[in-house]
Amino acid sequence: MKFTLVIMALVCLTPQQAISDELDRELQRYVQMFKYEAIERPEGVDQNKYVLGKNLFFDTRLSGNKNVSCATCHDPSKGTGDGLPLPVGVTKETIIPRNSPALFNLDHYELGSLFWDGRVSYDDMAEVYDTPSEVLNGYYPKRLDITEALGSALAAQAIFPIISHEEMRGKKGTNPIADAKTDEQAWSQIMKRLLAIEEIKNLFKKAYPGQNINIGHLGNALAEFQRVEFNSRNTPWDRYLRGELNALTPGEKRGAIVFSTVGRCTKCHDGALLGGRVFANIASPQIGPGKDIVNNDEGRFYVTKRGVNKYQFRTPPLRNVALTAPYFHSGAYETLEDVIEHYTKGVGAIDEFDSGWLSKFESTIYGQRLFVETNPYKLFKKKENAHPLMRNKMIRLSSQEKRDLIKFLKFSLTDTKFKR
C-alpha cells in the first residue's frame, strides 16, 4: 500500500518537477548573462577593529551634542534604516534631505562609490579617494595620514555624517565640534573627545597598536564592523546561486525571470549585488527640504556638474529590500508594490504621485508638513532627462508578472538573519 502511494505521489509530482526544471534552465541563462553571484563570507575579520567599530556605531558621543549615533538613522532592527521617508537630524525640526540608505554588503568590490549621489569613492588600484574633503583627495592628499588609515570607500564614507551639521555635528553655537571652522578641525575635535574617554582610548590602542590615532582609524573601525555585521549572504537567492535549486519557490523563480526580462530591472540592478553601480534618473517624486533653497535635489549633478547627471541617483543594491522601506532617494514610496507601479507608469507616475500616506509621519515625527514638488516646470525637466525606460514607458507587466516579481523581491532576497 505504501509503495503504491509513493508511486502515485511521484507520478503526480512529475509535471511540477518538469515545470521547475524548465524554470531553472531559463533562470540559469540569466544568471550567466547578468553575472548574478552569491555573496560570500567576509575575509580577514579583525576582531579588535570589529569590537571598536561596534562600540563607535552605537555611541552618541560621536555627535556634537551627544544625542545621536550612527544607529539612529541606521538601526539594525529596521533593516539598517530608520523606517522613515526622510531621517530626523540633530533636532526634531531638522529633516535630512535624503532617505537613509541600507548598509548591507557595502564593502563589496562592485561598489565604487557610496551615498545616493556617489560623492565618496575609492579607486583601490590607484589608492585614490574622491570625497567632499579636498584634504583626502588625489594621488598626494594633504592628509595622507588619514587616507592611509582609512583603507576603503566604506571607511571614508563613515567619517562624513559625523561632520554634517544636520546629521550629527549639530548647529553652530551648540558645541565645539559644530563651531570648528574646517572639516579637519571638526574631525580633530571628535577624536580629542573620544580619546579622552579611557574605555574608548584602550579600544583604539588594542585595534591599532603603536599607531598615531586619527579620524581615519575611526572610519576604518566603523567599516570593519559594518562589513561583518551587515554581510548578507544567506538569502534564498544566494542559496539558489550556490546550487540549492529548491531554495526558491516556482513563483519566486518566475519573479527572478521577470526581473531579468520584461521587468527590465537589470538595466540598473545586475551583478552580485543587484545594483549599486549605476546612477539613473527614474523620475522619482521629490519630497522634503531637498538640497537647495527651493527644495530641489539634482542628485549626481551636484558631484559631477555634468548636465547629463541631473536628477540621477545611485541605484541601491537589493539584498533585504523588503526590510528597507520607504523607497527611493526621498523615501517617496511606502511599499514595493508602489515602486513597481511607479516603473510601469513611466514618467507619468510623478504627476500621479499620492503623498497622502506621508501624513502619519508629519503629525507624529516631523511636526510639520513635508514639501512635495508639484511645480509643472520642474516636473517637466525631471521627466525630460529621465531614463529612456521611463520616458518611453517601456516596462509593461501583467498582474501575474507583478505578483511574481514581488515574490522574488520580498522573499528570495531577504536574509532571515536581519528579519525582525
Instruction: Say yes or no to pLDDT of 12 above 80.
Output: no
Instruction: Say yes or no to pLDDT of 15 above 90.
Output: no
pLDDT the model gives residue 297 = 97
pLDDT the model gives residue 92 = 83
Within 10 angstroms of residue 373's Cβ, the number of other Cβ atoms is 20
Residue type, 47: Q
* DSSP states along 24-35: HHHHHHHHHHTT
Fold match between 47-229 and 264-396?
yes
Instruction: Say yes or no to pLDDT of 157 above 80.
Output: yes
Sign of CA dihedral 275, 420, 162, 282: positive
Return the C-alpha cell found at 396. 509593461
- The CATH number of domain 264-396 is 3.40.50: no
pLDDT the model gives residue 398 = 97
Instruction: Say yes or no to pLDDT of 81 above 60.
Output: yes
pLDDT the model gives residue 18 = 67
* CATH topology assigned to domain 47-229: Cytochrome Bc1 Complex; Chain D, domain 2 (1.10.760)
In a 13 Å sphere around the CA of 369, the CA atoms on its Cβ side amount to 5
**C-alpha–C-alpha distance, residues 224 and 56, integer Å:** 11
Give 142's DSSP letter. T
Which residues have CB under 8 Å from 325's CB, separation 6+?
79, 83, 333, 334, 335, 336
Domain residue extents for the chain: 47-229, 264-396
User: 3-state DSSP call for residue 183?
Assistant: helix
pTM for the complete prediction?
A: 0.94
Give 118's DSSP letter. -
